[in-house]
Amino acid sequence: MKNILFALLFSAVFIQYATSQKIPLQDDFAHTYSIVAYDEKTGEMAVGVQSHWFAVGKVVPWVKAGVGVVATQSFANVDYGIKGLEFLEEGAQPKEAFSEVMSKDEGAAFRQVAIMNSRGEVFAYTGEQCIAEASHYVGTNFSVQANMMSNKNVVPAMVEAYQRNRNLPLAERVLATLKEAQNAGGDIRGMQSAALVVVDGKSDKTINPAVKKIDLRVDDAAYPLDELERLLEVHRAYEYMNEADVALEKKDFSKALNLYLEAEKLQPENIEIQFWKALAMMQSPQKEKGTREMKKIISKHSNWQHLLYRLVEVEVISLTREDLKVLEK
């Protein structure tokens, strides 16, 4: 209830403020801290963000595989994301793309923006009328930016965290940076929502520019970064699951089993993972163990047995009538 009352009061105050300052009211009050980053080894690009504002993930991060990424915040103007990416795709440098959008933005002094292309070149801007503490830092292949922070230590803490965690995969590195921002004080209002988006920086015919490798959002939570971390772990588990499914389709049951086992390490309580792992076992020299595990799964919910029969019918897996009878005992 306190959070709701605070949000309502905050909205009312800022609508009055925005009106007095002639800021377009369609702009979102996404005061926040964020990071844009590029991984030279993988070619991945990412945007990570956290804010005490509902559904910050629909406002701040803008991405396009093979083109670039944008974080637009403070009194966020989404044109920096939409049109900024269009200019990057046409060949503009990040600063040029920003300037093109800024030239038509009457509220530019209230914006905070970071634009990065698929080569890791980045430009960041903090308008002089962004609410303190507000600043940004542009490093090699990354930029961190924050406004309405509880103190001036947030941005330096983000820089240090990103550089210190250089050996982590890009998504985990970005998340570690966001967590350090919160440890340093974060948004003066607290926490509510967060988002993490990763796309491929490569630009070739095999890459669909609309595809996001990672696309996670927490729209409303007491501890959004903890939830984002949990979702990222689930995502990693399902990356193994997706690879295993391909192996299963190709009847490579040994490879599928190894991948399902890796997924289970990350999500040991996930019954979906348990089911497919047991299924792969039943197609391997570990058939007896797989059968025992499948019986446990079926005992929890009969729908898994119905699914198993359907998979046999379409020949995704090869089980005999006797194999199925054993499961019914």
DSSP, res 187? B
Helices (H), 120-270: 154-164, 170-183, 224-249, 253-266
CB-based burial, 228-248: b 16+ in 10 Å, e otherwise: bbebbeebbbbbbbebbbebb
| 226 within a domain of the structure (yes/no) | no
CATH code of 280's domain: 1.25.40
SS3 assignment, position 152: coil
Residue 308 and residue 187 in one domain = no
pLDDT value of residue 28: 63
Question: In the chain, how many domains are there?
Answer: 2
Residue 265, domain extent: 236-328
Residue 50 and residue 177 in one domain = yes
* pTM for the whole structure: 0.88
Which of residues 185, 220, 255 is at a domain's end?
220
Q: Is the pLDDT of residue 19 over 70?
A: no
pLDDT value of residue 169: 98
| 11 within a domain of the structure (yes/no) | no
Which of residues 194, 220, 246 is at a domain's end?
220
Residue 188 and residue 324 in one domain = no
| 1 within a domain of the structure (yes/no) | no
CATH code of 47's domain: 3.60.20.10
| 34 within a domain of the structure (yes/no) | yes
Residue 211 and residue 242 in one domain = no
Angle at CA of residue 306, ends 304 and 307, nearest 5°: 65
d(CA 52, CA 31): 8
Q: What is the pLDDT of residues 209-265, one digit of tens each?
A: 778 999 999 999 999 999 999 999 999 999 999 999 999 888 898 999 999 999 999
Residue 301 and residue 258 in one domain = yes
More confident residue, 208 or 99: 99
d(CA 19, CA 56): 22
Residue 187 and residue 290 in one domain = no
Share of the chain above pLDDT 70, in %: 90
Whether the CB-CB separation of 8 and 112 falls below 8 Å is answered with: no
| 229 within a domain of the structure (yes/no) | no
* Residue among 158, 206, 160 nearest 185 (CA): 158
